[in-house]
Protein backbone atom coordinates (compact mmCIF):
# COMPACT_ATOMS: atom_id res chain seq x y z
CA UNK A 1 0.00 0.00 0.00
CA UNK A 2 1.24 3.48 -0.87
CA UNK A 3 0.93 5.37 2.42
CA UNK A 4 2.33 8.67 1.15
CA UNK A 5 -1.08 10.25 0.31
CA UNK A 6 -2.45 9.35 3.75
CA UNK A 7 0.63 10.72 5.49
CA UNK A 8 0.38 13.92 3.47
CA UNK A 9 -3.26 14.37 4.43
CA UNK A 10 -2.60 13.66 8.10
CA UNK A 11 0.28 16.14 8.16
CA UNK A 12 -1.63 18.94 6.45
CA UNK A 13 -4.78 18.35 8.54
CA UNK A 14 -2.82 18.41 11.79
CA UNK A 15 -1.15 21.65 10.71
CA UNK A 16 -4.45 23.32 9.82
CA UNK A 17 -6.11 22.21 13.06
CA UNK A 18 -3.06 23.36 14.99
CA UNK A 19 -3.30 26.82 13.44
CA UNK A 20 -6.93 26.96 14.53
CA UNK A 21 -6.05 26.15 18.15
CA UNK A 22 -3.51 28.98 18.26
CA UNK A 23 -6.37 31.47 17.93
CA UNK A 24 -7.46 30.40 21.42
CA UNK A 25 -4.07 29.65 22.98
CA UNK A 26 -3.07 31.84 25.95
CA UNK A 27 -6.44 33.60 25.73
CA UNK A 28 -9.15 33.53 28.40
CA UNK A 29 -11.09 30.27 28.10
CA UNK A 30 -13.92 28.86 30.18
CA UNK A 31 -13.79 25.08 29.78
CA UNK A 32 -16.70 22.73 30.15
CA UNK A 33 -16.25 19.48 32.07
CA UNK A 34 -17.05 16.08 30.63
CA UNK A 35 -18.44 13.08 32.49
CA UNK A 36 -14.93 11.78 33.17
CA UNK A 37 -14.00 15.11 34.81
CA UNK A 38 -11.69 16.10 31.94
CA UNK A 39 -11.94 19.60 30.45
CA UNK A 40 -13.07 20.48 26.94
CA UNK A 41 -12.92 23.87 25.26
CA UNK A 42 -14.29 25.46 22.13
CA UNK A 43 -10.82 24.96 20.64
CA UNK A 44 -11.06 21.17 21.14
CA UNK A 45 -14.46 21.06 19.47
CA UNK A 46 -13.58 23.29 16.52
CA UNK A 47 -10.27 21.50 15.97
CA UNK A 48 -11.96 18.10 15.74
CA UNK A 49 -14.68 19.47 13.49
CA UNK A 50 -12.00 20.76 11.12
CA UNK A 51 -10.09 17.47 11.18
CA UNK A 52 -13.25 15.57 10.32
CA UNK A 53 -14.06 17.91 7.42
CA UNK A 54 -10.56 17.69 5.98
CA UNK A 55 -10.42 13.89 6.18
CA UNK A 56 -13.97 13.33 4.95
CA UNK A 57 -13.47 15.67 2.00
CA UNK A 58 -10.89 13.22 0.59
CA UNK A 59 -12.10 9.93 2.05
CA UNK A 60 -15.83 10.20 2.77
CA UNK A 61 -16.23 6.46 3.37
CA UNK A 62 -13.44 6.17 5.94
CA UNK A 63 -14.18 5.84 9.64
CA UNK A 64 -13.14 8.61 12.01
CA UNK A 65 -12.79 8.09 15.75
CA UNK A 66 -12.27 11.27 17.76
CA UNK A 67 -12.18 12.22 21.41
CA UNK A 68 -15.03 14.70 21.23
CA UNK A 69 -17.45 13.33 18.61
CA UNK A 70 -17.08 9.55 18.74
CA UNK A 71 -16.90 7.33 15.67
CA UNK A 72 -18.39 7.61 12.20
CA UNK A 73 -18.56 4.89 9.50
CA UNK A 74 -17.49 2.18 11.96
CA UNK A 75 -17.68 -0.61 9.36
CA UNK A 76 -14.86 0.86 7.24
CA UNK A 77 -11.50 -0.94 7.17
CA UNK A 78 -9.82 2.50 7.19
CA UNK A 79 -10.11 4.31 10.50
CA UNK A 80 -8.62 7.71 11.32
CA UNK A 81 -8.08 8.18 15.07
CA UNK A 82 -7.79 11.83 16.09
CA UNK A 83 -7.20 13.86 19.21
CA UNK A 84 -7.93 17.52 18.42
CA UNK A 85 -5.99 18.75 21.46
CA UNK A 86 -3.93 16.26 23.41
CA UNK A 87 -3.10 18.00 26.67
CA UNK A 88 -6.15 20.21 27.07
CA UNK A 89 -5.17 21.05 30.65
CA UNK A 90 -1.80 22.31 29.41
CA UNK A 91 -3.58 24.23 26.65
CA UNK A 92 -5.90 25.94 29.14
CA UNK A 93 -2.94 26.89 31.35
CA UNK A 94 -1.08 28.40 28.41
CA UNK A 95 1.64 25.72 28.44
CA UNK A 96 2.88 25.01 24.88
CA UNK A 97 3.26 21.22 25.24
CA UNK A 98 -0.14 20.33 23.74
CA UNK A 99 -0.58 18.67 20.35
CA UNK A 100 -2.90 17.64 17.55
CA UNK A 101 -2.68 13.86 17.01
CA UNK A 102 -3.76 11.87 13.95
CA UNK A 103 -3.33 8.15 13.42
CA UNK A 104 -4.55 5.91 10.62
CA UNK A 105 -5.49 2.28 11.21
CA UNK A 106 -6.02 0.01 8.18
CA UNK A 107 -7.63 -3.38 8.80
CA UNK A 108 -6.60 -3.20 12.44
CA UNK A 109 -2.99 -2.15 11.82
CA UNK A 110 -1.71 1.32 12.66
CA UNK A 111 0.21 2.62 9.65
CA UNK A 112 0.35 6.45 9.87
CA UNK A 113 1.02 8.75 12.80
CA UNK A 114 1.33 12.52 13.06
CA UNK A 115 1.89 14.69 16.14
CA UNK A 116 1.90 18.47 15.68
CA UNK A 117 2.73 20.87 18.51
CA UNK A 118 1.40 24.22 17.23
CA UNK A 119 2.79 26.48 19.96
CA UNK A 120 6.25 24.95 19.47
CA UNK A 121 5.93 24.52 15.69
CA UNK A 122 7.19 20.94 15.99
CA UNK A 123 5.88 18.36 13.55
CA UNK A 124 6.69 14.67 14.02
CA UNK A 125 5.39 12.29 11.35
CA UNK A 126 5.77 8.61 10.53
CA UNK A 127 4.34 5.89 8.34
CA UNK A 128 4.95 2.15 8.28
CA UNK A 129 8.21 1.43 6.47
CA UNK A 130 8.87 5.13 5.82
CA UNK A 131 10.67 6.06 9.02
CA UNK A 132 10.02 9.00 11.35
CA UNK A 133 10.86 12.66 10.84
CA UNK A 134 10.96 15.64 13.18
CA UNK A 135 10.45 18.94 11.34
CA UNK A 136 11.57 17.23 8.15
CA UNK A 137 14.69 15.59 9.57
CA UNK A 138 15.02 11.87 10.22
CA UNK A 139 14.92 11.10 13.93
CA UNK A 140 15.73 8.09 16.08
CA UNK A 141 15.47 6.99 19.69
CA UNK A 142 18.50 7.10 21.98
CA UNK A 143 20.99 4.31 22.53
CA UNK A 144 21.01 4.67 26.33
CA UNK A 145 21.81 1.17 27.61
CA UNK A 146 20.88 1.33 31.31
CA UNK A 147 17.88 2.70 33.19
CA UNK A 148 20.31 4.13 35.75
CA UNK A 149 21.54 6.48 33.00
CA UNK A 150 18.13 7.19 31.50
CA UNK A 151 15.82 10.19 31.47
CA UNK A 152 12.20 9.10 31.80
CA UNK A 153 9.02 11.16 31.59
CA UNK A 154 5.49 10.92 32.97
CA UNK A 155 2.40 13.12 32.95
CA UNK A 156 1.18 13.22 36.56
CA UNK A 157 2.57 11.15 39.43
CA UNK A 158 -0.82 11.19 41.14
CA UNK A 159 -2.36 9.09 38.35
CA UNK A 160 -0.29 5.99 39.12
CA UNK A 161 -1.92 4.96 42.40
CA UNK A 162 -5.56 4.99 41.18
CA UNK A 163 -4.63 2.50 38.45
CA UNK A 164 -2.70 0.24 40.80
CA UNK A 165 0.79 1.27 39.70
CA UNK A 166 2.14 3.19 42.69
CA UNK A 167 4.65 0.47 43.61
CA UNK A 168 5.89 0.35 40.03
CA UNK A 169 6.20 4.14 39.95
CA UNK A 170 8.38 4.07 43.03
CA UNK A 171 10.58 1.37 41.50
CA UNK A 172 10.99 3.42 38.33
CA UNK A 173 11.85 6.54 40.30
CA UNK A 174 14.49 4.63 42.22
CA UNK A 175 15.97 2.96 39.14
CA UNK A 176 16.13 5.78 36.61
CA UNK A 177 18.81 8.41 36.27
CA UNK A 178 16.55 11.44 35.76
CA UNK A 179 12.78 11.87 36.10
CA UNK A 180 10.85 14.68 34.40
CA UNK A 181 7.15 15.53 34.35
CA UNK A 182 6.95 16.54 30.70
CA UNK A 183 3.41 15.58 29.95
CA UNK A 184 1.00 13.93 27.56
CA UNK A 185 2.09 13.20 23.98
CA UNK A 186 5.11 15.48 24.29
CA UNK A 187 6.76 13.02 26.68
CA UNK A 188 6.46 10.19 24.15
CA UNK A 189 7.61 12.36 21.26
CA UNK A 190 10.69 13.30 23.28
CA UNK A 191 11.53 9.58 23.30
CA UNK A 192 10.94 9.22 19.55
CA UNK A 193 13.19 12.21 18.78
CA UNK A 194 16.04 11.09 21.03
CA UNK A 195 15.54 13.67 23.78
CA UNK A 196 14.33 11.22 26.45
CA UNK A 197 14.68 7.48 26.95
CA UNK A 198 11.24 6.34 28.12
CA UNK A 199 7.77 7.72 28.89
CA UNK A 200 4.98 6.26 31.03
CA UNK A 201 1.25 6.83 31.22
CA UNK A 202 -1.03 4.63 33.36
CA UNK A 203 -4.07 6.05 31.54
CA UNK A 204 -4.20 6.52 27.75
CA UNK A 205 -7.18 6.38 25.39
CA UNK A 206 -6.88 5.12 21.81
CA UNK A 207 -6.89 8.68 20.43
CA UNK A 208 -4.00 9.54 22.77
CA UNK A 209 -1.97 6.58 21.52
CA UNK A 210 -2.68 5.87 17.84
CA UNK A 211 -0.28 8.40 16.32
CA UNK A 212 2.37 7.78 18.96
CA UNK A 213 2.45 4.03 18.35
CA UNK A 214 3.47 4.53 14.71
CA UNK A 215 5.90 7.33 15.55
CA UNK A 216 7.68 5.32 18.23
CA UNK A 217 8.04 2.17 16.15
CA UNK A 218 9.28 3.98 13.06
CA UNK A 219 11.80 5.86 15.24
CA UNK A 220 13.21 2.52 16.38
CA UNK A 221 11.57 2.34 19.80
CA UNK A 222 8.72 0.45 21.43
CA UNK A 223 5.16 1.44 22.27
CA UNK A 224 3.10 -1.08 24.27
CA UNK A 225 0.84 -1.37 27.25
CA UNK A 226 2.37 -2.01 30.69
CA UNK A 227 2.19 -5.78 30.20
CA UNK A 228 4.11 -5.67 26.94
CA UNK A 229 1.13 -6.05 24.59
CA UNK A 230 1.36 -4.32 21.23
CA UNK A 231 -1.96 -2.46 21.49
CA UNK A 232 -3.43 1.00 21.97
CA UNK A 233 -6.68 -0.33 23.43
CA UNK A 234 -5.72 -1.37 26.97
CA UNK A 235 -5.88 2.13 28.41
CA UNK A 236 -2.18 2.59 29.22
CA UNK A 237 1.14 3.06 27.44
CA UNK A 238 4.90 3.04 27.75
CA UNK A 239 7.40 4.28 25.18
CA UNK A 240 11.05 3.21 25.31
CA UNK A 241 14.19 3.37 23.21
CA UNK A 242 13.95 -0.40 22.81
CA UNK A 243 17.23 -1.17 24.56
CA UNK A 244 15.69 -0.37 27.96
CA UNK A 245 12.46 -2.22 27.25
CA UNK A 246 13.28 -5.55 28.97
CA UNK A 247 14.59 -3.82 32.10
CA UNK A 248 11.54 -1.58 32.27
CA UNK A 249 9.04 -4.41 31.75
CA UNK A 250 10.67 -6.34 34.56
CA UNK A 251 10.15 -3.39 36.92
CA UNK A 252 6.51 -3.02 35.88
CA UNK A 253 5.51 -6.51 36.94
CA UNK A 254 3.11 -6.50 39.92
In a 10 Å sphere around its CB, with 0-12 CB exposed, 13-18 middle and 19+ buried, how is residue 175 labelled?
middle
State residue 161's pLDDT score: 92
State residue 127's pLDDT score: 98
State residue 142's pLDDT score: 98
Is the domain of 14 the same as that of 128? yes
Domain interval for residue 214:
147-252
Which of 90, 113, 138 marks a domain boundary?
Answer: 138
Angstrom distance (rounded) from CA 92 to CA 116: 17
State residue 243's pLDDT score: 98
Is the domain of 24 the same as that of 123? yes
CATH number for the domain harbouring residue 218: 3.40.190.80
**Residue 93 phi/psi, 5° resolution?**
-80, -5
pLDDT in tens, 159-203: 899 988 899 989 988 999 999 988 899 999 999 999 999 999 999
Which of 107, 138, 169 marks a domain boundary?
Answer: 138
CATH number for the domain harbouring residue 126: 3.30.540.10
Is the domain of 225 the same as that of 171? yes
Is the domain of 156 the same as that of 116? no
Angstrom distance (rounded) from CA 126 to CA 112: 6
Is the domain of 191 the same as that of 155? yes
Is the domain of 168 the same as that of 79? no
Residues whose CB is less than 8 angstroms from the CB of residue 193 and which lie 6 or more positions away in sequence, other chains included:
124, 134, 139, 219
**What total number of domains does the chain contain?**
2
Is the domain of 154 the same as that of 175? yes
Which of 100, 117, 138 marks a domain boundary?
Answer: 138
Is the domain of 95 the same as that of 176? no
Q: Which pTM value belongs to this model?
A: 0.96
Mean pLDDT on 108-127 = 98
Is the domain of 81 the same as that of 125? yes
Q: What value does the mean pLDDT of the chain take?
A: 96
Amino acid sequence: MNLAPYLELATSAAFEAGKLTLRYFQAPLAPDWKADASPVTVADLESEQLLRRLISSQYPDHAILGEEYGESNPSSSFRWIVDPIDGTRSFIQGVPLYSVLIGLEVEGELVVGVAYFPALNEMVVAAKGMGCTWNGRACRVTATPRLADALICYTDERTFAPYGYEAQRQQLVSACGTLRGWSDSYAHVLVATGRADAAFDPYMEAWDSAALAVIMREAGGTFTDWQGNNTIYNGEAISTNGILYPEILALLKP
